[in-house]
């Protein structure tokens, strides 16, 4: 009987260990003109032991190449199609037929990302998000695949109005009733999860005086204690995740699961992009993989596994914005590693602990570090006032691409240029781009290279003004 009990206990502990370990996937972006063909990429994924991949579209060549690979796939409906998807289920019926059923189940599609960082989309598509998600789900139900394929939408961390301390995490008030609550209600009803894009790099680069690099890179550090609940955080990544959990709980949906749909660290950056570099990128991603595959959940949710998609598979040479945007890849387009890390638990067991990785030890008397600035904003620059405006000589296509970047991945506050808002008029590309460029410039402390956008912008020393719209000087 004693032997049986010990054996049962051993099995139980083993099962618990498996249940609490997370998963690592990777984002396969293709904003580049020099990437290997999809079939070759699938072989690369398999040799690296990657069994989950996230796409930004439903490219036929890619989905066909993934057929029979045993790699689980997340596909995406682009923001440009949200209005159509929200307007009528016949659109999502057709979309599911063409982009899902054509490939599934040979291509193991596990989820659909409806839009991407919609709340910062300069095209003001937020109102279409939840209706589009509901129509997409209804189409999956219609064709009998809703139990196997989840519907979600990646949300940028900038959706939070407050992120420090983690226990005080909250969504921006103007998002809560119109979209956050309906979206979380939908996710709960359908058994899905919230996708969140989390980048400690951005917070560190904007706050190097208050955020420890070791804390951002999962290296050994004294930790940060949440003053409200006493929880100790050994990494900024976990603190940011728990801020989202707290925000969900604050609006009544603390039981909705979460996946990190994007996170990463650039291996190269501009002079003003503090922390960008191959060593730090290897430390962040390498230690993150170890943390996810060998650890449990976060301090707030210790029993919830961490499901994480790294950004990104390749360096993408056609992405606009600062140098860092083109250098998040784990691989060069020739399939050579940018730096050497493992992506599997087996690789971790066979290799050394790298880059002073986090040890998951209990910290008894930590000294709290200074707080990250709420919502990712930064203090106003101490230097003389300057602003960033659009280059009127730049091609419209370049201006539009730069505007999309600034309001999207760049994290600029573009709400004032939405229709009906204070800076919507004049409704011109140049005026809207100027406002977005300046927001990005000020949020990045007017650093060198943050007002360029591949020649689409330049710095001025006189306060710009369009109509009654006043450009902010700092955040």
Q: CA 322, CA 454: separation in Å to the nearest integer?
A: 8
Q: CA 171, CA 159: separation in Å to the nearest integer?
A: 6
Q: What is the pLDDT of residue 456?
A: 87
Q: What is the mean pLDDT of the chain?
A: 87
Name the band, by pLDDT with cuts 50, 70 and 90, for residue 466: confident
**pLDDT of 227 higher than 60:** yes
* Residue-wise pLDDT tens digits, 77-117: 999 999 999 999 999 999 999 999 999 999 999 999 999 99
Domain ranges of the chain: 21-54+153-350, 387-460
Name the band, by pLDDT with cuts 50, 70 and 90, for residue 460: confident
Range name among 18-22, 135-139, 162-166, 195-199 with the lowest pLDDT average: 18-22
**pLDDT of 13 higher than 60:** no
- Fold exhibited by the domain 21-54+153-350: TIM Barrel (3.20.20)
Q: What is the pLDDT of residue 384?
A: 57
* Residue-wise pLDDT tens digits, 301-320: 999 999 999 999 999 999 99
294: nearest Cα among 9, 23, 27, 15? 23
Q: CA 22, CA 289: separation in Å to the nearest integer?
A: 9
CA distances from residue 322 to 340, 409, 449, 467 in whole angstroms, order as listed: 24, 11, 7, 29
**pLDDT of 3 higher than 80:** no
Name the band, by pLDDT with cuts 50, 70 and 90, for residue 6: very low
Name the band, by pLDDT with cuts 50, 70 and 90, for residue 353: very low
**pLDDT of 431 higher than 50:** yes
Check: CB of residue 357 under 8 Å from CB of residue 295. no
Q: CA 475, CA 473: separation in Å to the nearest integer?
A: 7
Which position has the higher pLDDT, 444 or 231?
Answer: 231
14 class by beta-carbon count within 10 Å (0-12 exposed, 13-18 middle, 19+ buried) = exposed
Q: What is the pLDDT of residue 268?
A: 96
Q: How far is CA 325 from the centre of its chain?
A: 13
Radius of gyration of the chain (CA): 22
Specify whether the backbone of 332 is left (phi greater than 0), alpha (psi in -120 to 50) or beta.
Answer: beta
For residue 13, give both structure tokens.
């502990």
Q: CA 242, CA 355: separation in Å to the nearest integer?
A: 24
Mean pLDDT computed over 141-150: 98
Q: CA 450, CA 325: separation in Å to the nearest integer?
A: 12
Check: CB of residue 156 under 8 Å from CB of residue 119. yes
Q: How far is CA 259 from the centre of its chain?
A: 10
Mean pLDDT computed over 319-328: 94
Q: What is the pLDDT of residue 20?
A: 55
Give the active site residues: 117, 262
Range name among 12-21, 74-83, 448-457 with the lowest pLDDT average: 12-21
């Amino acid at each position: 009987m004693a032997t049986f009990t010990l054996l049962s206990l051993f099995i139980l502990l083993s099962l618990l260990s498996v249940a609490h370990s997370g998963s690592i996937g990777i984002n396969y972006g293709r904003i580049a003109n020099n990437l290997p063909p999809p079939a070759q990429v699938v072989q690369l994924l398999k040799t690296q032991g990657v069994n989950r991949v996230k796409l930004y579209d439903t490219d036929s060549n890619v989905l066909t190449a993934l057929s029979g690979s045993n790699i689980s796939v997340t596909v995406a409906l682009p923001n440009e199609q949200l209005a159509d998807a929200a307007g009528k289920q016949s659109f999502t019926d057709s979309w599911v037929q063409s982009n899902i059923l054509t490939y599934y189940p040979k291509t193991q599609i596990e989820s659909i990302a409806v839009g991407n960082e919609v709340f910062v989309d300069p095209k003001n598509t937020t109102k279409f998000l939840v209706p589009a998600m509901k129509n997409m789900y209804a189409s999956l139900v219609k064709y009998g695949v809703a139990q196997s394929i989840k519907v979600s939408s990646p949300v940028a961390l900038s959706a939070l109005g407050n992120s420090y301390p983690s226990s005080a995490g909250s969504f921006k008030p103007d998002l809560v009733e119109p979209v956050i609550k309906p979206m979380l209600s939908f996710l709960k009803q359908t058994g899905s999860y919230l996708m969140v894009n989390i980048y400690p790099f951005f917070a560190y680069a904007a706050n190097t005086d208050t955020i420890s690099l070791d804390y951002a890179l999962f290296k050994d550090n004294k930790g940060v204690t949440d003053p409200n609940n006493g929880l100790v955080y050994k990494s900024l990544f976990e603190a940011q995740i728990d801020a989202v959990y707290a925000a969900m709980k604050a609006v009544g949906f603390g039981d909705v699961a979460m996946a990190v749909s994007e996170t990463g660290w650039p291996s190269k950056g501009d002079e003003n992009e503090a922390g960008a570099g191959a060593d730090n990128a290897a430390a962040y991603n390498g230690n993150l993989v170890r943390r996810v595959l060998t650890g449990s959940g976060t301090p707030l949710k210790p029993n919830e596994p961490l499901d994480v998609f790294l950004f990104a598979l390749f360096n993408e040479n056609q992405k606009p914005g600062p140098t860092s945007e083109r250098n998040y890849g784990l691989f060069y387009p020739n399939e050579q590693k940018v730096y050497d890390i493992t992506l599997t638990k087996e690789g971790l067991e066979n290799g050394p602990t790298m880059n002073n990785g986090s040890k998951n030890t209990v910290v008894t008397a930590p000294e709290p570090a200074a707080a990250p600035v709420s919502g990712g904003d930064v203090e106003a620059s101490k230097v003389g006032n300057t602003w960033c405006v659009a280059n009127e000589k730049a091609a419209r296509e370049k201006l539009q691409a730069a505007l999309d970047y600034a309001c999207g991945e760049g994290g600029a506050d573009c709400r004032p240029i939405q229709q009906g808002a204070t800076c919507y008029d004049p409704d011109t590309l140049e005026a809207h781009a100027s406002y977005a460029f300046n927001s990005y410039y000020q949020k990045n402390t007017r650093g060198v290279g943050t007002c360029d956008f591949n020649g689409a912008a330049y710095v001025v020393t006189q306060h710009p003004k369009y109509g009654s719209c006043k450009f902010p000087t700092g955040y």
